[in-house]
Amino acid sequence: MRFRSTTTSIEDVDFEKIQFEKIKVQKFTRLVKNVQTEKVIDSKEIRGFKVLAKTKKYTGANQLKKKSKTNLGFSEAFNNYENPYKFLIALQNVGIEETDFYKYFVDIDYRTLNKHGYEVSGGERSEFNLLHEISDALKHDLLLIDEPESSFDNIFLKSEVNELIKEIAKEIPVIVVTHNSTIGASINPNHLVFTQKLVNSGNVEYKVFFGHPTSKTLKNVDGELIKNLDVLMNCLEAGEEAYNQRNTMNYEILKD
């Protein structure tokens, strides 16, 4: 027929290839549907808090646009979202990198829960963020914490922050800058460093004193001495007078 007819010749059809491509599309569709099934894919606990990573389907084109962090339009592509293969073809026309296609089939929702299993409040999230940052310190050679007391109550500082610092200090050096007695006094530091600021005739001078927490005095590189008790009282207790006043007037009268 090909050689004896003047009609347009019929191209050979590879039915095996067509069937194979159809099977690949079916497998791709099943894979995507399985990935889009809502489920917890990861869970991590950090000192009473739990972080859950959960898969969920996108619900609108704006979510895809937000994911891309561009001004590209995803409205037409999202119309095919329920048909994974057609959605894949549509993504090719959006203008995003092929290596990023996987991001647009399923979203990952991260939730942080408190010890009771509920979503954390604003204050609890701050506590979690601090603990999370500190717990990652072992990836580094040194941990420096600057006044953690500025946002947290003393119970949290003593029961969580202090304990975590002690654990990390067994592995790497930890430096804590604080004016809070809950941290400064109860953490049982290995070493104290105190910086004294002096202003004379407009000139500013800093003297650094150091020593063991149980030493009566701290000294600097010039051999000058300063009373350890005075340093601790002024830095952590707002002075000896305030310390004694709280002890005798605010707490003693409440005892049975």
Residues 136, 247 within the same domain: yes
Structure tokens belonging to residue 93 = 């026309």
Q: What is the SS3 assignment for 239?
A: coil
Residue 32 lies in a domain: yes
pTM of structure? 0.60
**% of residues, the chain, pLDDT over 70:** 90
For 74-118, what is each residue's pLDDT tens digit? 999 999 999 999 999 999 999 889 999 999 999 999 999 988 889
Residues 211, 146 within the same domain: yes
Residue 118 lies in a domain: no
Q: What is the pLDDT of residue 3?
A: 55
Q: Do 31 and 15 form a contact (C-beta atoms < 8 A)?
A: no
Higher pLDDT, 163 or 248: 163
**% of residues, the chain, pLDDT over 90:** 41
For 123-135, what is each residue's pLDDT tens digit? 888 888 888 888 8
Residues 77, 200 within the same domain: no
Helix ranges (DSSP H) in 93-187 = 122-135, 154-156, 162-169, 181-184
Longest dimension (CA), the chain: 117
CATH, residue 173? 3.40.50
Q: CA dist 178 to 83, 129, 138, 209, Å?
A: 57, 19, 21, 16
Confidence band of 35 (pLDDT split at 50, 70, 90): very high
Q: Which residues are bridge partners to 113 per DSSP? A: 50, 119
Q: How many domains does the chain have?
A: 2
Residues 105, 162 within the same domain: no
What distance in Å separates the CA atoms of residue 167 and residue 25, rounded to the nearest whole number? Answer: 52
Confidence band of 190 (pLDDT split at 50, 70, 90): confident
Residues 75, 156 within the same domain: no
Residues 90, 152 within the same domain: no
What distance in Å separates the CA atoms of residue 246 and residue 238, rounded to the nearest whole number? Answer: 11
The pLDDT mean for the chain works out to 86
Residue 49 lies in a domain: yes
Residue 72 lies in a domain: yes
Residues 94, 191 within the same domain: no
Residue 8 lies in a domain: no
Q: Is residue 151 scored above 80 in pLDDT?
A: no
Residues 170, 192 within the same domain: yes
Q: Is residue 246 scored above 80 in pLDDT?
A: no
Which domain, by its residues, includes 70? 15-113
The per-residue DSSP string of 28-78 comes to HHHHHHHHHS--EEEEEEETTEEEEEEEE---SHHHHHHHHTS----HHHH
Q: Which of 58, 87, 113 is the last residue of a domain?
A: 113
Q: What is the SS3 assignment for 108?
A: strand
Residue where the block lists tokens 């050679």: 141
